[in-house]
Structure 1
Amino acid sequence: MSEDQKKQLESQLWGIANLLRGKISADDYRDYILGFIFYKYLSEKQYLYANELLEGETVTDFKLVTDEETLAAIKEESLLKLGYYLQPAELFSVLAARGNADTEDESNYILEDLKAVLNHIEQSTMGTESEEDFNALFEDIDLNSTKIGRTVAARNDIIVKILVNLDKIDFRLKDLDADVLGDAYEYLIAKFAAGAGKSAGEFYTPQPVSKILAKLVTVGKSKIKSVYDPTCGSGSLLLRVAKEAEVSEFYGQEQNRTTYNLARMNMILHDVHFREFNIQHEDTLETPRHLEKRFEAVVANPPFSAHWKGDANPLYNNDERFSEYGRLAPKTKADYAFLTHMFYQLADNGTMASIFPHGVLFRSAAEGDIRKYLIKERNAIDAVIGLPANIFYGTSIPTCILVLKKCRKADDDIIFIDASSDEHFIKEGNQNALRDEDVELIVKTYTERKSIAKYSHVASLKEIEENDFNLNIPRYVDTFEAEDKIDLKAVSEELKTLETELQEVNTSIAEFCKELNIETPF
């Protein structure tokens, strides 16, 4: 698919999203639009796969199959291959056509049938391998909500309008790479994030930042056994890693239920098989779901300085994720709780790259002790990368990326990169944005570990210790711009010239005032 065709698909999908824009909040209409796109995707996958199974049969169009034995066989194969099953009457196009039928009765009222279809998709997986991946997946699509219409008829009208317009778009699943529709889905998620204010950070990391993290954890690798994100949001970071290396298994955890559903949809839309991903719901710090596993790549954008139970819960003192550091992260700043959790889950041959607020670099007390232990005892921190302010939706604070490894050599240094200055980003509306060349410079500098004037510095561990394990980037990367020298003699001569010119002007004004017989103003 050409770039123009991809943009056309994105534009078409965003146009449908705008059918609800302005009527309900961004968070609400995101759930409906993304949910219906996902339903259409599942439907088209089912239709194509069923037709493959029907090749050579008397009836070769799944929509026309009525034989119960044939349908049972298609269902069995679909659950193994796709992980779910839709009956012919439940296909997206069939339901959209019914809703759009020109009738005088109420046969085009499809809300109850649509609700039943979405429930059946989930129920079809019960007792199968994919049950956990589809359980309650459509729970955020409330077809009875008065937000989309005060009456049943009004709600039916808007839902039918969305389905009919979506049905006109050919996803071309048979012809195109799976990432085409997946990328269009990501585009919509980004557009929703732009309008979601502070809540956007819960489900979306801007693509340039995702790209940096993905490239950092895959340096020198074309294949990754497993990638993990403990605060996975919509799953965009996990999927981004798969663009840099072949990934066998995806793992993630997400606290927000709606976002957890979105992550699972996003995985399936990118054609990640249900056996290849494991996305769990719950608070990662309080109820970690993958503690027994170690991951070759770890990427994350945890909530900045979030509250957690911390030292209010004595059980954390014996938790292996935190206990070796001797101190717990403050209960009002969970940054180091997330960091040490991720480091605990990192495989010996793995790399971790995560976004944090700058405070993790220099704050003292418990955080200072944990930072010192990570550097001095574990030799874990590999890079500190400063990003521009205002590149995340919902917050304008400057942020940094920390890169950690478990098997660094004893004399390994730490590279500091300051990518926050004006020449390393552009303005896009109210946000700052990293360009491709900015991303590539960060990754290239990290990979080559070069000191570049006013941009990067390779610091020895001795230098770090001399700075009392403070990692504040300006201590290592000097971005000071000397002001131009002032020629005082030239300035003095210029002032003399101005004084002479002023006297001449005053003389002229005095003469004009005398002619007009008025008092001079000086």
Structure 2
Amino acid sequence: MTTSEKQRLQQAELHKKLWTMANDLRGQMEAYDFKNYILGLIFYRYLSEKTETRIEKLLEEDNISYEDAWKDEEYKEGLIDTLLVEIGFVIEPEFLFSSMIKEIHIGEKGNFDIELLHKAIKAIEQSSLGTNSQQDFENLFDDMDLTSTKLGRDVKSRSKLIAKIMVSINEIPFLHDDVDIDVLGDAYEYLISQFAANAGKKAGEFYTPQQVSKILAKIVTHNKSNLKNVYDPTCGSGSLMLRVAKESNVRLFYGQELTTTTFNLARMNMLLHDLRYTDFDIKNDDTLENPRHIDMRFEAVVANPPYSANWSADSKYLDDDRFSAYGKLAPKSKADFAFIQHMIYQLDDNGTMAVVLPHGVLFRGGAEGIIRTYLIEEKNYLDAVIGLPANVFFGTSIPTCILVFKKTRGSEDSVIFIDASNEFEKGKNQNVLTDENVEKIVDIYKSRQTIEKFSYASRLDEIKKNDYNLNIPRYVDTFEEIEAIDLEVVSKRLKEIDDEIADIDVELTQYFRELGL
């Protein structure tokens, strides 16, 4: 079974469960609200199972249950200290997800009270206060308001609804060691896509399809089995960085995300993928206006920033080391090149950067043209331009491209252009890149082969002759010659049709006369 087939099976199972939960909540609140409850509870289940797995190992030789160990002050103190060091948080026995599921199933009415879950969530945050993991658990569940009347008018009705959702979540197969999908990211995208009209947010803003992520990841990890770090300045759910870790052994993860809800999701996602709180550092802030990792350099940089976003473009940034060498700032209404400049600045000398952007960055003039020229002519940083199919991102049908940059390209005097706009499989709502499509793109990137109607290794002097316009059709000719039309044959056939019509008219006139019409 191929990776894409496994992904589809796992997605189908997850989507089926999510649809059931969504139907339970749909009459209560807007989609944008209820996704926070579903994702928060998925994550809480994961934290609980992580705690149980660790506790089981810690107590395996003591022949004592977690519940009994917790009642013993000496055991309890030791367990708390160990859990805080190893996983960064503590969940008491009665607050475990599995304990609450038992409460839900006790008797016909069940003993579960939503207040118990509320206490449990607060207890996780409080357990990390004053520790190294505090910033990673602080306000993590803020988007899941269990006191909201949207869940029900009273505690009893809220408890009943949340209990129903928890039972459904308990049936989701996490498949920790054999999961080929980003559970939280995929759940987020699915929930948004099903109820986009009411959501107010587009999944494409913070979630990159797995196959596109795979292309970026394979490119930045080329010839690197180990990476000291990876960075995403607009990290969304964190799925891009996590994909890089599937291609190489990444030691540290760094990211920044402007939207608080999505920032919380990214932290959840890191932990959900079994990363220790010491392995990642994700900040909640505006990357262009207030970069939080500015003194660091990264071996791999990946991003799918918001397309043609607004930014201040304040003149003070002409003195900012990220932008000053170019002499121009990206336009206020199109921050695409501002993100590129920021990432170039953070890229280590031995690193590779891959970013998804709209096609406009390839050919727009003005300040963007000046920045583009500087990157190619003065620095020789641009390594590849890859055109992707249209309609592969939820929320936008526009075709996008991947730009690849390297600071040390040595004597490399070419840029590889790849037109992968037809490399897709038609999906129900979106086009999908298959495993074969991904491998074809990545293989050509690595080999830098020129293939008719697909790829072209352009020398820098040729790009210069094109005034540093990177529009892919200038380099990859995909023109299909139309078969010549024989006008004489067409004219003869039209004359024959006219004669046939005239004959039919005569025949119809005869019929009408016989009928007295």
TM-score (norm 1): 0.91
Q: Secondary structure at the match of 1:352?
A: strand
1:55 is matched with which residue? 60
Alpha-carbon shift at residue 153 of structure 1 (Å): 2.2
Equivalent positions of 1:229-248 (< 5 A) are 229-248=232-251
Alpha-carbon shift at residue 305 of structure 1 (Å): 0.7
Q: Secondary structure at the match of 2:50?
A: helix
Say if 2:118 is the partner of 1:115.
Answer: yes
Alpha-carbon shift at residue 449 of structure 1 (Å): 1.1
Contact kept, 8 Å, 1:232 with 1:253, in 2: the verdict is: yes
Distance, in Å, in 2 between the alignment partners of 1:488 and 1:318 is 65
2:382 is matched with which residue? 381
Say if 2:79 is the partner of 1:41.
Answer: no
The amino acid across from 1:54 in the alignment is L
Say if 2:302 is the partner of 1:303.
Answer: no
Alpha-carbon shift at residue 137 of structure 1 (Å): 0.8
Seen in structure 2, the aligned counterparts of structure 1 residues 16 and 117 have a Cα distance that, compared at 3 Å, is farther
Say if 2:483 is the partner of 1:478.
Answer: no
1:405 is matched with which residue? 406
Distance, in Å, in 2 between the alignment partners of 1:140 and 1:412 is 50
Seen in structure 2, the aligned counterparts of structure 1 residues 165 and 486 have a Cα distance that, compared at 3 Å, is closer
Q: Choose the corresponding residue for 2:294, options 285, 291, 294.
A: 291
Q: Secondary structure at the match of 1:124?
A: helix
The amino acid across from 1:89 in the alignment is E
Contact kept, 8 Å, 2:15 with 2:187, in 1: the verdict is: no
Alpha-carbon shift at residue 407 of structure 1 (Å): 0.6
Contact kept, 8 Å, 1:178 with 1:271, in 2: the verdict is: no
Contact kept, 8 Å, 2:424 with 2:432, in 1: the verdict is: yes
The amino acid across from 2:154 in the alignment is T
The amino acid across from 1:417 in the alignment is I
Alpha-carbon shift at residue 210 of structure 1 (Å): 0.8
Equivalent positions of 1:34-433 (< 5 A) are 34-59=39-64, 61-65=65-69, 66-102=71-107, 108=111, 110-167=113-170, 177-178=176-177, 180=179, 183-195=182-194, 197=196, 198-310=201-313, 313-421=314-422, 424-433=423-432
Contact kept, 8 Å, 1:97 with 1:164, in 2: the verdict is: no
Contact kept, 8 Å, 1:233 with 1:260, in 2: the verdict is: yes
The amino acid across from 1:376 in the alignment is E
Alpha-carbon shift at residue 458 of structure 1 (Å): 1.4
Seen in structure 2, the aligned counterparts of structure 1 residues 21 and 220 have a Cα distance that, compared at 3 Å, is farther
Larger mean CA deviation between 314-323 and 15-24 belongs to: 15-24
Q: Secondary structure at the match of 1:20?
A: helix
Alpha-carbon shift at residue 136 of structure 1 (Å): 1.0
Alpha-carbon shift at residue 481 of structure 1 (Å): 1.8
Alpha-carbon shift at residue 170 of structure 1 (Å): 6.8
Q: Secondary structure at the match of 1:249?
A: strand
Q: Choose the corresponding residue for 2:21, options 17, 22, 41.
A: 17
The amino acid across from 1:64 in the alignment is D
What is the CA deviation profile of residues 149-170 of structure 1, one whole-angstrom value per residue up to 9, with x for unaligned ones?
Answer: 2333221110122223434567
Distance, in Å, in 2 between the alignment partners of 1:216 and 1:117 is 42
Distance, in Å, in 2 between the alignment partners of 1:72 and 1:179 is 35
Contact kept, 8 Å, 2:11 with 2:186, in 1: the verdict is: no
Contact kept, 8 Å, 1:231 with 1:253, in 2: the verdict is: yes
Larger mean CA deviation between 508-517 and 293-302 belongs to: 508-517
Seen in structure 2, the aligned counterparts of structure 1 residues 12 and 52 have a Cα distance that, compared at 3 Å, is farther
Alpha-carbon shift at residue 204 of structure 1 (Å): 0.9
Distance, in Å, in 2 between the alignment partners of 1:266 and 1:405 is 28
2:493 is matched with which residue? 494
2:507 is matched with which residue? 508
Seen in structure 2, the aligned counterparts of structure 1 residues 339 and 181 have a Cα distance that, compared at 3 Å, is closer
The amino acid across from 1:128 in the alignment is T
Contact kept, 8 Å, 1:118 with 1:138, in 2: the verdict is: yes
Identity among equivalent positions (%) equals: 51
Distance, in Å, in 2 between the alignment partners of 1:181 and 1:514 is 76
Seen in structure 2, the aligned counterparts of structure 1 residues 137 and 182 have a Cα distance that, compared at 3 Å, is farther
Contact kept, 8 Å, 1:456 with 1:477, in 2: the verdict is: yes
1:445 is matched with which residue? 444
Alpha-carbon shift at residue 56 of structure 1 (Å): 2.6
Distance, in Å, in 1 between the alignment partners of 2:270 and 2:316 is 34
What is the CA deviation profile of residues 56-111 of structure 1, one whole-angstrom value per residue up to 9, with x for unaligned ones?
Answer: 3252x11233111101101111111111111112211223333444488xx93622
Q: Secondary structure at the match of 2:329?
A: coil
Say if 2:460 is the partner of 1:461.
Answer: yes
Distance, in Å, in 1 between the alignment partners of 2:316 and 2:84 is 42
The amino acid across from 1:68 in the alignment is E
Larger mean CA deviation between 484-493 and 459-468 belongs to: 484-493
Contact kept, 8 Å, 1:100 with 1:164, in 2: the verdict is: no
Alpha-carbon shift at residue 192 of structure 1 (Å): 2.2
Contact kept, 8 Å, 2:17 with 2:168, in 1: the verdict is: no
Distance, in Å, in 2 between the alignment partners of 1:364 and 1:249 is 38
Distance, in Å, in 2 between the alignment partners of 1:44 and 1:83 is 14
Alpha-carbon shift at residue 416 of structure 1 (Å): 1.2
What is the CA deviation profile of residues 2-37 of structure 1, one whole-angstrom value per residue up to 9, with x for unaligned ones?
Answer: 959956863564255333245433322221111111
Please list every run of 5 or more consecutive structure 1 residues that lacks an aligned counterpart in the other structure.
none
Larger mean CA deviation between 66-75 and 504-513 belongs to: 504-513
Distance, in Å, in 2 between the alignment partners of 1:196 and 1:412 is 48
Distance, in Å, in 2 between the alignment partners of 1:205 and 1:196 is 18
Alpha-carbon shift at residue 127 of structure 1 (Å): 1.8
Q: Secondary structure at the match of 1:157?
A: helix
Alpha-carbon shift at residue 196 of structure 1 (Å): 5.4
* Equivalent pairs, count: 507
What is the CA deviation profile of residues 403-422 of structure 1, one whole-angstrom value per residue up to 9, with x for unaligned ones?
Answer: 1110113452111111123x
RMSD: 2.4
Distance, in Å, in 2 between the alignment partners of 1:80 and 1:512 is 98
Distance, in Å, in 2 between the alignment partners of 1:37 and 1:230 is 26
Contact kept, 8 Å, 2:100 with 2:112, in 1: the verdict is: no
Larger mean CA deviation between 22-31 and 220-229 belongs to: 22-31
Distance, in Å, in 2 between the alignment partners of 1:348 and 1:73 is 45
